[in-house]
Structure 1
Amino acid sequence: MGLCFSKSGSDRFDSDQHVEFVGGNVQPVTSKEDWDQKLSDAKRDGKIVIANFSAAWCGPCRLLAPFYSELSEKHPSLMFLLVDVDELDEFSSSWDIKATPTFFFLKDEQHIDKLVGANKPELQKKINAILDSVK
């Protein structure tokens, strides 16, 4: 399982190594207000939210990004969000993010589960459990 704890010069990546973090049905969160609106929309639509707190410089985050995008396409009944911990530093701190990626699962704007690390099988397992619980 991969984790990133802090950014340093050696963790930086060149622009030619850029990975598309927002693909499929993944929605970027650009502000606290944007977050609040997306959670409100999810609650209104009866969707469970999966929020990926990630960073562009984080290797495990970059490796997991295509899989996260794939999941968002496979499960349109869920809302997949992406929060860049550098762009929304204060907001991310309010969620007590210690490592990236960190995934929060929310239902009706309430935290129901959490996963820390780039663990594809565990992320899939948690999504399947959530989908089974709403059937």
Structure 2
Amino acid sequence: MGFCFSKYDNTEESEDESEFSGGNIHIITSNDVWEQKLAEAKKDNKIVIVNFSASWCDPCRNVAPYYSELSEKHPSLMFLSIDVDDLNEFSSQWDIKATPTFFFLKNGQQYDKLVGANRAELDKKIASALVQ
């Protein structure tokens, strides 16, 4: 378990985002892609799990393969990933203070949240999402 507080701790360039993709995860790169995925989830009546993370954040990198595994295990849910540095203003609108932060959305509205890379708690929240 863990999380990173500052979005600007790393002086190096962002690393390859491939460690945050894979599985059934959709990488959000713009507001338009965000709106498109939310509309798709609403149409398909899917719960959306959004992972706000950063390439320089060790807890984010540690939980990323597990998040990918969960996305493959639960195709009835939509898994999104947002790099807080790539979409800084968008992340600020969601009041991201630490990474990773997971939001759970139904019909585009937040109903739950998890801050930190706590796999057991993420499992509980996903189990709950499956019965929504």
TM-score range, shorter chain: over 0.9
Structure-2 residue corresponding to 1:2? 2
- Gaps (5+ residues) in structure 1? none
Distance 1:70 1:79 in 2: 13
TM-score (norm. length: structure 1): 0.90
In structure 2, the residue matched to 1:86 is 85
Aligned residues: 131
Rounded Cα–Cα distance in structure 1 between residues aligned with 2:17 and 2:80: 19
Q: Deviations over 1:11-50 (max 9, x none)?
A: x5996x9861101001100101110110010000010000
Partner Cα separation in structure 1 for residue 86 and residue 24 of structure 2: 20
Q: Which amino acid aligns with 1:8?
A: D
What percentage of residue pairs aligned between the two structures are identical? 63
Q: How far 1:9 sits from its partner (Å)?
A: 4.0
Counterpart contact for 2:14–2:56, Cα < 8 Å: no
What TM-score does the superposition give when structure 2 sets the normalisation length? Answer: 0.92
Distance across 2 between alignment mates of 1:83 and 1:122: 20
Unaligned runs of 5+ in 2: none
Classify the secondary structure of the residue corresponding to 2:112: strand
Structure 1 runs of 4+ aligned residues shifted over 6 Å read: none
Q: Secondary structure at the match of 1:20?
A: helix
